[in-house]
Homo-oligomer: A and B are copies of this chain.
Amino acid sequence: MKAPSDFQLQADLRRPGRRVTNQRWLILEVVRGTDSHPTAEWVYQKVRRRLPRISLGTVYRNLKLLAEEGLIQELESRGFGRYDGNTARHDHFTCQRCGRIFDLEVRVDPSLGRRIGARTGFTITHHRIEFYGLCASCVLAAGHAKGGETSKRARHRP
């Protein structure tokens, strides 16, 4: 499973009745160019630097379209949507203090879906594992701030 080349992406994106506009291409590049699992708003701000006239609606429309094409993936998160340029199967860790989402390097047993499917009667196509807790830097920060609510860092929202 290797990263698709730009050429490959062009091919996936260029299909009858579908254009590759700068807006669309740039949005794809921005999402692929970060591992921060950004929100639509974050992508919008990033893309705006190069295409100042782009509208937020265009960002939303294209993020959805790119996810349907399978070129990016949409994460299941509470409140607002987040996107992931890494389409390889991988799991996530969410820090409950700073809100950041990290990719897990270690791979959890990929046959889990098949095993559970066989045992339950459900036809399982895929599964998702999310871990929650504190990231390394938040463990430190939480240690310092013993006894005070004051130093709770503002939550990230990439």
Task: Spell out A's residues near B (CB within 8 Å).
Answer: 76-78, 81, 93, 95-96, 102, 104-106, 108, 112-113, 116-117, 119-136, 139
Contacts and interface: CB of A to CB of B under 8 A. Distances in A.
A1 to B, nearest CB: 20
Instruction: Determine the main DSSP class of A at the interface with B.
Output: mixed
Nearest to A91: B116
Ordered nearest first, which 8 A-B pairs have the shortest CB separation? Answer: A124-B133, A125-B133, A123-B134, A127-B131, A123-B133, A128-B130, A124-B131, A93-B122
Contacts of A104: 116, 120
A129 B96 CA distance: 17
Given A93-B124, A126-B132, A108 B116 contact: yes
A122 B105 contact: no
Contacts of A81: 78
A71 to B, nearest CB: 19
B133 A106 contact: no
A122 B96 contact: no
